[in-house]
Amino acid sequence: MLVIYIDADGCPVKEEVYKVAKRYQLPVKVVANHYINVPLNPLFEQVVVASGLDEADNWIAERIEKDDICITADIPLADRCLKKQARALNVRGEVFSDDMIGHALAMRELMRELREMGQVSGGPAPFAARDRSAFLSSLDRIIQAIKKEAQR
């Protein structure tokens, strides 16, 4: 059964995931290293992992399976999910793919180095309504594609 995993620390689209999951009756694992308020619904499970770098990522990567979906802004976690034939989607609706993950990892490293050298400051653009809309559209498309593939 298709499961949606949310890398929940700082995820701005949890409510959207819950809405879509209810519509499709899909289980959701909300993973973080601290308590996050999750709606009371048997489809939704709060998973609190140990404190520490990458604990939530490791928990997700160890459990995600083929055609599950991971919602994350973490490019290395997305890469790990793709290697297990799962789907990965960032909070702005961009679908991670095998074709672009290498480029995304390289760009992440380049930006880290530029920030360390003081060449770049700031972060991503503020999250906007159009990002939320793009996310909802992408999540729906991914679920429909997985369901269609399962019927074959």
Q: Locate the domains of the chain by residue range.
A: 4-151
Q: What is the CATH number of domain 4-151?
A: 3.40.50
b/e string for 125-146 if b means 16 or more Cβ within 10 A? eeeeeebbebbbebbeebbeeb
- The pLDDT of residue 39 is 96
- The pLDDT of residue 150 is 86
**pTM recorded for the entire structure:** 0.86
Residue 144 has pLDDT above 80, yes or no: yes
